[in-house]
Structure 1
Amino acid sequence: MKIERIETFLVPPRWLFCRVETDDGVVGWGEPVVEGRAEVVRAAVEVLGEHLLGQDPLRIEDHWQVLTKGGFYRGGPVLSSAVAGLDQALWDIAGKHYGAPVHALLGGPVRDRVRAYAWVGGDDPGELREAIEKQVEAGFTAIKMNGSGLMDRSIGAAGLAAVVERAEVARATLGTSRDFAVDLHGRAGTASARRIIAAIADLHPMFVEEPLAPEYLHRLGELTASTEVPIALGERLYSRSDFLPVLGSGLAVAQPDLSHAGGISEVRRIASLAETFDVQLAPHCPLGPIALAASLQVAFATPNFLIQEQSAGIHYNEGAELLDYVLDPTPFAFVQGYAHRTPLPGLGVTVDEQAVRRADKRPHAWRNPLWRHDDGSMAEW
C-alpha cells in the first residue's frame, strides 16, 4: 500500500481539510488549519506532502519525524498544523486498514464516553443567560465563555466588574451541579489576570483559560502560585518542548489542539508528558468535524483526560456547521453532554466528500477580527 494522492479543501466557515488516498483506495482525512491563515497552511501541506507520495502510509511515526525535522527548520503554527492534518489522515488510514478505531491502536479505550462543553460566547453579557440556558436544555453539563470582549491590558474597576458579572450570571444559571470555564484569550496583562482570577475565584470556575498571552508564559508560575483556581492554556503551543516549561509552572489543564500541535502523534505524547506533572488534558477544538473526531480518539485512550471542546453552534460558524460535511452524525451525538465511543474504524468520521468538493469551489478567506483600543492602539483579539 502506497500513498498515491494528497488533496486539500478550503471549506466554510474557516476550515481546511486534507484527503490522503492510497493506491488500493483507502482514504484518510485530516484537518490542518491555522484559523485565519488556512491558505498558508494549504501551501505547507502541498510542500510536506511531497515526502509522503509513494510511501507506505502505515509508517506514521517515521513520517512524523521526517515531516517535523527533515526540513531542518522546526515548529511554528503553520508547519505544525500542516503536519497535524497529515498525521490525522495517516492514523485514519491505519485504522481503516486494520479495521479498528484509532483509540484501539493507541492502546485501547480507558473510558466509554467523553465529556464535552459548549461555547456560549460572552462578549455580549446581555445574551449570556439565554445562551447558557439553551445549552443546558441541550444536555450539556459544562460551558465555556469569554471573560470579556475588548479588554485593556491594565483592567479598571468597570472592566473587572463586567467580568465578574458574566461569571455570576453563569454560576446563577448553571447552579452548583454544572461547570463553567472562563477564557481570557491572552487579553489581560499579568497583573490584571491575577486580579480577574481573584475576583471570580469564589464562583468556582472549572478553569480560567489563557490568562496570559504565549509570549509571557515565563510569568505563569507566579500567577498559578497566587490562586487556587485551575489555570488552563495550550492552544498556541505546538509541541512537547513548548509545553514542558509550563507543565512545571503550576498549570492544571493542558489544551493542545489536534490541528495545531502535530496531530494525534504529538498530542498523545503531550498528554503522557502532562500526566507526569498531574496535569489534565482538555484539547482545544473550535474547529470542524475531522479535528473533533481526532480529539475524541485521543480522549478515549488518555487516562488524564478532563473535557473536550467542540464547535456545534459556536459563533464562528457562519456559512457552515459542524455536521454539514458529515454523512453519519452518530460519533458527534452528545447525550447529556457526552460523546459515546463507537467501533467505527479510523477516526470514526464519515466525510461527505461531495459536499466538501462543492464547498471548495467557493473557498473561504476567513480572517480573525482586528481590534483597537479607544486610543487607536492594537488590542488583543
Structure 2
Amino acid sequence: MTTITRVETFLVAPRWLFVRVETTDGLVGWGEATCEGRSETVRTAVEQLSELLVGQDALRIEDHWQVMTKGSFYRGGAILASAVAGLDQALWDIAGKRYGAPVHQLLGGPVRDRIRVYGWVGGDEPSEVRDQIAARVESGLTAVKMNASGRMSPLASVAELDAVVQRVAAAREVLGDERDVAVDFHGRFTLANARRVAPLLEPYRPFFLEEPVVPENSHLIGEFVRSTSTPVSTGERLYNRQEFLPVLQAGIAVAQPDLAHAGGITEVRKIAALAETFDVQLAPHCPLGPIALAACLQVGFATPNYLIQEQSIGIHYNLGAEVLDYCVDQQPLTFDDGYVQRLTAPGLGIEIDEQAVRAADKRGHAWRSPMFRHPDGSYAEW
C-alpha cells in the first residue's frame, strides 16, 4: 500500500502556497493550495485536513476527497476548498508517479495534443495597453486578458464608460482580427454598469466578458447574459458543482473554476462534465504558480470542452519569483505559438525544485489584495 506518511506546506513568493505529500514507498506529490491574500489561513486548514490522510492509502483519491469535503458538519468555502484542492492535486501527482503515467492518462487519456494559453495584461491608459499587448504578441501569445477598468462608480460616468471602451479598442487595434482579447470585469461592476457597457464593447468582439457581477450575486448573471451577444464567463470564486449549476442555467458560455480553489482535479473534472451538458466551455482561472498550472493542463488534455488556459508568466503580481523559477526543467510549461504541448512525464508532468521551495518558504510572503475606495470613502470592489 502507498501509505501517506507526511504532509508539508510551503508559503513561497510571490503569493503561493505549495503542498508536499510523501508516502512510505518514497513517492512525493505536489499540489498548490494558494488562496490569494488568505494563504496563511489555508495553510492551517491543510494541516488540519492532513490528520485525515496520514496513515491512509494515497491512491484512494475519490474517497479522500469525499472525506475531506464532507467529513465535518460545516463545509465548503474558499479556505476549505483551497486546502482540499492542494491535497487533491498532490494525491493525483502521486498516483501518476505510482503508475508511471501523466495524470491525463489516468483521467481517460488525451483528447488533444496541445492547449492554447493566454496571458494577462495591465495598463491604465490605451497607450500602455498597446505596449503591453504588443509585448505579449511578441512572446508568441495569440490571446490576452485585460481588466475592463479600475475602480468603478456604482453608476458610471460617461468618462468611466468611455475609458473602458477606449482601452478595449486599443487592444483590438494591436491584436487585429486573428487574435483574441478577453475583458475581465473582475466583479467591480454593478449589474447596471455591466449591462450598460457590454453593448458598447460588442464592435470589438471580445473573446468573453468575465465576472460581470460578484459571485454572491450569481442570481443576477442571467440578466447580464441576456443583455449582450458577447460570450460571458465566470467561476474563479465558485468552488463546487452546486455553485456552478445556477450560472450554467443562466446561460454563461465559459466556466472558469480555479484548480487551486475548486476542490482540485477531482472536483474540476466533475464541473467540466456538468458544464458540457450545458454546451459550456472550460477556461480555468490560474494566475498562480507552476503546480496549479500543471494541474489545469492535466485536466485540459483529458477534457473535451476545454477552451483555453490562463497562465501567469510575467504577470505584475509575480514579485520575488516567477512561475518557472520553482521548476527543475522549465521546458514543459513554456509555450510555442500560443500553445503548451502535451505533458508526458508521470504525475502532474513537472519536477519541482524542492531545494528552491524550502529556501523560499523560509522567507515566506504576506501578499494581500489591494483595497479600493470610492471618492466618498466607502468600500469599492477590487
Normalised to the residue count of structure 1, the TM-score between the two structures is: 0.99
C-alpha contact 1:123 1:146 (8 A) present in aligned 2:
no
SS at match of 2:145: strand
Secondary structure (helix, strand or coil) at the match of 1:345 reads: coil
Whether 2:186 is the aligned partner of 1:185: answer: yes
Please give the alpha-carbon distance, in whole angstroms, between the structure 1 residues aligned to 2:212 and 2:126. Answer: 19
Please give the per-residue CA displacement for 1:138-180, whole angstroms capped at 9, x wherever unaligned.
1100000000111112111000000000110010000000000
Aligned to 2:370: 369
For 1:140 and 1:41, the matched residues in 2 are separated by 33
Q: Tell me what 2:361 maps to.
A: 360
Tell me the CA shift for residue 342 of structure 1.
2.6
SS at structure 2 position matched to 1:19: strand
Paired amino acid for 2:108:
G
C-alpha displacement at 1:220, in angstroms? 1.1
Check whether the contact 1:80–1:261 (CA below 8 A) recurs between aligned residues.
Answer: yes
CA contact (8 A) 1:124 1:149 kept: no
Q: Deviations over 1:325-344 (max 9, x none)?
A: 11011221100010000310
Q: Which residue of 1 aligns with 2:20?
A: 19
In 1, the alpha carbon distance for the partners of 2:131 and 2:203 equals 23
Q: Output the CA distance in 1 between the equivalents of 2:278 and 2:123.
A: 32
Structure 1: distance between partners of 2:128 and 2:356: 33
Percent pairwise identity: 66
Q: Which amino acid aligns with 1:140?
A: L
* 1: CA distance, partners of 2:180 / 2:307: 12
Asked whether the 8 Å contact 1:11–1:360 carries over to 2, the reply is: yes
RMSD, aligned α-carbons:
0.7
**What's the CA shift for 1:222?**
1.4
Measure how far apart 1:125 and its partner are. 3.7
Q: Is the 8 A contact 1:20 1:28 kept in 2?
A: yes
Q: Which amino acid aligns with 2:141?
A: F
Q: For 1:143 and 1:295, how far apart are their aligned partners in 2?
A: 18
1:338-349 maps to which residues of 2 (within 5 A)?
A: 338-349=339-350
Equivalent residue runs for 1:244-259 within 5 Å: 244-259=245-260
* Gap runs ≥5 in structure 1: none
Q: Which runs of 4+ in 1 moved over 3 A?
A: 122-126
Secondary structure in 2 matching 1:334:
coil
Contact 1:153 1:187 in 2 (8 A): no
Q: What SS does the aligned partner of 1:296 have?
A: helix
Partner of 2:381: 380
Q: CA deviation at 1:59?
A: 0.1
- Larger mean CA deviation between 264-273 and 150-159 belongs to 150-159
Deviations 1:19-38 (A, max 9, x none): 00001110000001210001
Map 1:133-212 → 2, pairs under 5 A: 133-212=134-213
Judge conservation of contact 1:2–1:22 (CA < 8 Å) in 2.
Answer: yes
Are 2:125 and 2:167, in contact at CA under 8 Å, matched by a contact in 1?
A: no
* Contact persistence 1:109–1:301 (CA under 8 A): yes
Superposition deviation, residue 124 in structure 1:
4.3
Alpha-carbon contact 1:230-1:253 (below 8 Å) kept: yes
In structure 2, distance between residues paired with 1:258 and 1:165? 33
SS at match of 2:284: coil
Deviations 1:199-246 (A, max 9, x none): 101110000000111111111111111111000000000000000011
Cα distance in 2 between the residues matched to 1:287 and 1:123: 22
Pairing 1:42–2:39 present? no
Q: C-alpha distance in 1, partners of 2:123/2:70?
A: 40
TM-score, with length taken from structure 2: 0.99
**Separation in 2 of the partners of 1:154 and 1:125?**
23
- CA drift at 1:109: 0.5
For 1:121 and 1:296, the matched residues in 2 are separated by 24
- What's the CA shift string for 1:16-72, capped at 9, x where partnerless? 000000011100000012100010000000000100000000000000000000012
Q: Secondary structure at the match of 2:316?
A: coil
The 2-side partners of 1:242 and 1:122 are apart by 32
Q: How does 1:74-89 map to 2 (within 5 A)?
A: 74-89=75-90
Q: Provide the aligned length of Structure 1 versus Structure 2.
A: 381
- Give the secondary structure class of the aligned counterpart of 2:250: coil
